Structure formats: C-alpha cells, structure tokens
Structure 1
Amino acid sequence: MRKRRKIMLAAILCSMVYNIFLDCISASADYGTEISAASAIVMAADGSCIYEKNADEPRLIASTTKLMTALVAIEASKPDDPIEVRAECCGIEGTSMYLSPGEIRTADELLEGLLLASGNDAAEALSVGLYGSEEAFVAQMNKKAAALGLEHTAFINPHGLDAEGHRSTARDLAKLMLCCMQNERFAGITAMRQCVIDNKSYVNHNKLLDRCEGCIGGKTGYTRAAGRCLVSCCEREGTRFVCVTLNDPDDWNDHCKLYDEAFAAWENRLAVSAAECFEIPVTAGEGPVAPAAPERDLRLFVRKEEELVYIHELPRFVYAPVRAGDCAGRVIVLRGGEAAGEVKLVFTEDVSRSKKGE
C-alpha cells in the first residue's frame, strides 16, 4: 500500500510539473503583445511561467549580475557593517558611485550604490570587503546560483562587465529575482527612488518605479555586447510577477505591456482557505462529529475565467478518540483534469471516546 501511495504521489507531482509546462506554452501563444527582446519571460510568484521567448538561451546579462552580488552581500553582512574601500576597487570602468580609496561605507550604503546607481566600484568594494577577494566572492555567487537551481548561469565577476563565460538566461534571472524579493533588505533598497550618501545623491536607474503601476523593484543593465537588459518585479492587488528582458531596445515599454497583459488575464486565486470547515461523523465519541480544516491556505496562479475542480478525500466516519492536529484527509485541486495542488486536512478539536456502556 505504501509503495502504491508513493507511485500515486509521483504521478500527481509529474502531472503538476507537466501542467505548468503546458500552461507556459499556451500562455505564450495567447499573448498578443509583440516585444523587441531577444529573450524574455514573465514569471508568477510561485515560479510558474506566464510568458516566455527564448527564455533558456544563455546570454550576456550586464549589470543585472548585481542581483546576485546584492544577495550574496546581504547574506554575508549586517546593514551597518563598516567596509573600507580599497584602492583596487576604485576607478572601475562603467557606471560608478564614485568611491575613494580608504573611505569607509556601511554595507547598506554600498548596496544602495550597487542597486540604484549600478556602481561597479560598489560591487568590487562589497566583494573584497566581505570575502577578501573578488575571486572568493564570485565563487560564492556561483555556489548560490547552484543552490537556487540556476542551471544556465555562471559568474566571472561581480559587476557584469562583459567576460568570456559570464552568462545567464531570462528564466534563471527570473528565479533569482523572485528569491531576492523575498529578502526584506533587498526589497527595501531596490524600491528606493533615490538616496543620499555623504552629500552625494544617487537616483535609481529603474524608471519602471514611476512608469509602471505596481512596480516594486528591479535592476537595469547595459553593455554594447549584451544590449539593454532589465529585470523587474510588479505587484497589483496581491498578485506578483517578475519580468526579464535581455537585449531589448524597448525594454521600458515591453515590461509595461507584458505586465498589463499578465495582470489582465491571470490572478493569484485563493483556491483553498484554511478557514473552511468539514465535519466528519464520529463513532463511539462524546460528540457526533469531528471538525476538520485545511492546514494552510492554498493559492494558485490561474486564468481569471478558469474553473477549478476539487476532490475531497475524507473518511465516511472515524472512531473516537480523535486528536486535534491528526490527519483527516486532503483536498486535491485540479486544473484541466490535472492535479495543480493539494492541502492536508487536519482535525481541529479533540473528540473523546464515549463513556456510555463502560
């Protein structure tokens, strides 16, 4: 019986993954928006794909590299940790927050210069200051990429200047952005329009914060070889998406169009509520029924017009005693005949055995 249950569970999980794959193909085909990006993806907060275009094609990613730089730096520091800027970290080509040798900045000040001004010098200062060398820091970036399952990503430096072997994909960057936005420190900094550090003002390069309704963060990037790269996150009425475009000459407009279409067609629906209540008849108990409820809410990204089908697996009755917290069954949610998710049902109250007849 146990082996059969494992086989059934594996079949359900496979069908869930396959269903997400089919949804992505279908959603991409249904998108009416034409975009100019060489690679692109729109991903829901649960990791499901809403739209894609060459999303697994490895490319140069320019300063969107700094998403991983920021994540690794945040995990290795506290906001007020002092970091001394070494001479080799200054004068890096490209965008800069104009650090000077010997000055001391906090970790979060360097992160603000990294994510708002896209400072290549900030990337170097964080790398050397936190790990002792750029090489050690980049090794940690690649270790983190592997841990997140970013299969087509490799980092050679912390700033994103073109380098042989330095690459990622739209899909990997979307996964990375979802992870970054779960970090409160990162989310707070990337949402800032501007900041002032030691009387220097830095403006966020991400124009979507003002141009796109609900945009709550993102990272820009550009080199001549990589083209314009943009990773962003948008949330409206509790529904969140991330969007990635690589080598896209019209990235601002493309992100706005992709988000508008995604929010118009999809929603993060509460499929199962933990507030729902089920009553299961009890035999030989002090009470006639044992109340049960889902152990958690279940939300699914679905099309707004889509109907869900529910399978409630509950016993016809149970014998007393019943203990609160014990498994009572499960709810399986189907989309298009395929399993999309499930939630365990648990008893919410104790039911003692009846003393009558003893």
Structure 2
Amino acid sequence: MIQWQVVVLYQKGFLRIGIVLIILAAFLIPANAEELSVSAESAILVNADSGEVLWAKNENQECAMASTTKIMTALITLEQAAEDDKVVTITKQMTAVEGSSMGLQPGEQLRLSSLAAGMLSVSGNDAANSAAIAIDGSAEKFSERMNQRARELDMDHTHFVTPSGLDDDAHYSTAADMAKLTCAAMKNSAFQKIVSQKSIQVEFINPQIKRMYANHNRLLSFYQGCIGVKTGFTKKAGRCLVSAAERDGVRVVAVTLNAPDDWNDHQKLLDEGFQKLQSITFDDRSFTAEVPSATGGTMIGVRGQIGDTVVLPKDSYPERTVELPQFLYAPIEKGQCVGRVVYRLNGQIISQTPILADSDVPEERSKQSIFDRIKQFWMSCFP
C-alpha cells in the first residue's frame, strides 16, 4: 500500500513540485488494485485475535444464518461436556427433526462431545436437537441459553429459536455477530479441534461402534491454512459460510450470509486478511545496559527478554520505549525484573517485555541514612 501526505508549501515553485509528486504517486498504485467484491448479501472479515474489522459489507444486516447456528449450539455443548461429558440416550423426540443428519436412532447412546462432533462435521440437525434436549430438556429451553450467551458476547442483533438453524422468522443474526461468536468459539480447544478436521471418528457407547463423518467444509481441503468453521444452507437463508484460517501466526475469520458463490467469496476474504495483517514477536534479548547502584560504586547489568506475539496491520509502526530506573537498590537477585520495554500503537500499550538483572547484587554493608535515601530518590525522579 502506498502512503503519502499532502504538504502545502507557500513558495510558488515548491507548490508546483508538490502537485507533480502527488500525481506520480497516483500512477504508482498497482493497476490490479481493485476493490474487494463478494457475492454475499452480508459479509465480514475480522482479525480473530482482536476482533478488529478488516472488511465488511452490510455486516449489521439481520439475516437467516441456517446451520452456522450450530457454532453456538456446539460451543455450549462442549462447555457442558467439559464439566460433565455425560452419556446421552437418543429418543424419538430428539431425532424428530428434518434436514441434515448424522443418522442417530432411538436407543443409541453417545456422549455430549460426540454430538458436538456430529453437528459440526456433517451438520447433524439430530445431533443439535439431541444435545439441546439432553442439556435443558427441550429445544425451546436451550434456545434461552443460546440467547443468554449471545448477550454475553455482545451479539446485539441476534436471536436464536432453534439449535439446528432451521428457518424461523424470529431466528436471525448478522455477519458481524457471527464473527464475534466464531472468535469466541475458536478459543475453545475442543471446538477448534473438531472444526479443523476433514473427517472425524465418533465413538458410540451403544452400540459399541465407531463411525466416520466427513466435514462439509470444502475449504479444509483446498485453502491453505484453513482451520474451520461451519457451512449452512436453507431455502430462506441461502448459502451461509463461516471460515477461519491461519498463516504465519495470523488468524482471520470470514462470514458470508446468503452468498451464491461462497467458496470463492471466502478465498478472496481470507486472502485479503493475510495481505493486511502481520504477526510480530517482540524480542528485546539483544538489549543490554548497566544501571548504577543507588549507593554508588557498583554497576548492575540488565538484559531485555522475549515478549508477546501480536498481530498488527502491515503498515503499522509501534513506538518503543525503554523504562528503567536511574538507580537500583540492592539486594537484587539474578533474574529479578527491574524494568520493561513498552510498545505502543496509537497511544495504546500493545506489548511489554521485562528487563531482568544479569546477576545477584548483595545488599551493601554500610546502610544509607534516611537523608541519603531521600536524596537518591529525588535524584532518580529528576535526573
């Protein structure tokens, strides 16, 4: 991306030169730099780590979202399973739901976590319905739990009615809200493990068998770095898709609702995310310094450390500040934190790396008087 700034110069000759430079900059923009266009009625691309919006189209428009609903259903199911992965006995009521299915039959038994695998891979409506009834006694009661969780995630334009995503006039969300949900869900390790697999083996308790289910998400096979997430389709909602991909420490999430060409839409969106973001690890191990002892006569060696890895826009330039006291007071142990290196972007702290002492520094034998300590304190405040 070419960045330039218009500077108004008041000398006539320089003003002409400035105009020429601006015109040349316009011609330097690549000819293939086109505005991103997708088939989706509503779409969004976000930084999965921060939730920052990288690109959007009608992102707050309320739409039916079909089986991408199961992102919420599966997340709640897996959270319950983490506390008690109980065995669920399938009933006729649980399987009395139309649409895609993992083929559950009354009398079969499997765990909650297995139901989550079935709803996220082959988009089993029977699995979603079974989990809802097993957890809360009915799909209606479970939908209340879904809406409560939506409020917790600030999904302000979302209302759930069914755990499966079957059409209902009161069942809707937005691309922006589904992105919030997906970013939260991908922080759940069990959820992430399921949605990132091209196929998954589900173990049944009764009968004692294992069944293999193929994931409907084709992006897992042909998009480099794809790690999920969920497909969806109903006549009302159209083709819906939520995807996530990771490359070189950068993770992005894309959502499209009612997208006739959703597979291509998502390749464009994910590519856009990787073009805009970079992963940076702040490493200050090369930083060394010596800080005088407060009592004089001793220099204390200090060294920076490796810090956080953060995802930032490619055209961003963090400000680096080293914060060390003017004097250090013994005793000091090797490895003790004595300062920090701070990185800021747009005035906000984005990372801090510690500065540690290189060696032990024993306490001086001759104690300073209170007046000397006050003097040294004020000297450190006003160097």
Fold equivalence (TM over 0.5): yes
| Paired letter, 1:149 | D
CA distance in 2: counterparts of 1:148 and 1:254, whole angstroms: 26
Q: TM-score normalized by structure 2? A: 0.76
- Give the whole-Å Cα distance in 2 for the aligned partners of 1:81 and 1:113: 16
Provide the residue aligned with 1:341 in structure 2.
Answer: 350
1:214-293 maps to which residues of 2 (within 5 A)? Answer: 214-270=225-281, 272-273=282-283, 275=285, 277-279=287-289, 280-284=291-295, 287-289=298-300, 291=302, 293=304
* Consecutive unaligned residues in structure 1, runs of 5 or more: 1-29
Q: 2:341 touches 2:354 (CA, 8 Å); kept in 1?
A: yes
Deviations 1:242-263 (A, max 9, x none): 1111111111011111212322
Structure 2 unmatched ranges of 5 or more: 1-32, 203-208, 369-383
Looking at both structures, which has the greater relative contact order when contacts are Cα pairs under 8 Å and sequence separation is at least 6? 1
Q: Is the partner of 1:228 in helix, strand or coil?
A: strand
Residue from 294, 299, 302 that aligns with 2:310:
299
Name the amino acid aligned to 2:292: P
Aligned equivalents of 1:219, 1:150: Cα separation in 2: 18
State whether residues 293 and 348 of structure 1, in contact with CA within 8 Å, keep that contact through their aligned partners in structure 2: no
Kept after mapping to 2: 8 A contact 1:217/1:233: yes
**Distance in 1 (alpha carbons) for counterparts of 2:361 and 2:297:** 6
Q: Deviations over 1:188-212 (max 9, x none)?
A: 1112222355465432110100121
Instruction: Tell me, yes or no, if structure 1 residue 66 matches structure 2 residue 70.
Output: yes
Query: 1:353 corresponds to which residue?
Result: 363
Aligned with 1:312 (options 306, 316, 322): 322
Which deviations, in whole Å up to 9, do the C-alpha atoms of 1:286-331 show, x marking residues without a partner? Answer: 841252646842513221x543332333333334445665563551
Matched, 1:76 2:85: no
Q: Is the 8 A contact 1:66 1:114 kept in 2?
A: yes
Question: Pick from 95, 98, 102: which aligns with 1:97?
Answer: 102
Return the match for 2:159 from 147, 154, 158.
154
In 2, Cα distance between the equivalents of 1:57 and 1:114? 26
Contact 1:286 1:353 in 2 (8 A): no
Q: Matched residues in 2 for 1:111 and 1:238: separation?
A: 27
Distance in 2, matches of 1:199 and 1:347, equals 53
Q: CA deviation at 1:347?
A: 4.1
In angstroms, what is the RMSD of aligned CA positions?
A: 2.7
Work out which of the two has the higher radius of gyration on C-alpha atoms and give 1 or 2: 2
- Structure-2 residue corresponding to 1:194: 199
TM-score (norm 1): 0.81
Amino acid at match of 1:141: M
1:50 pairs with 2:61? no
- The percent of aligned pairs where both chains have the same amino acid is 37
Residue 133 of structure 1 deviates from its aligned partner by 2.2
1:126-141 correspondence runs (5 A): 126-141=131-146
- Conserved 8 A contact 1:151-1:172: yes
Q: How many residues align?
A: 325
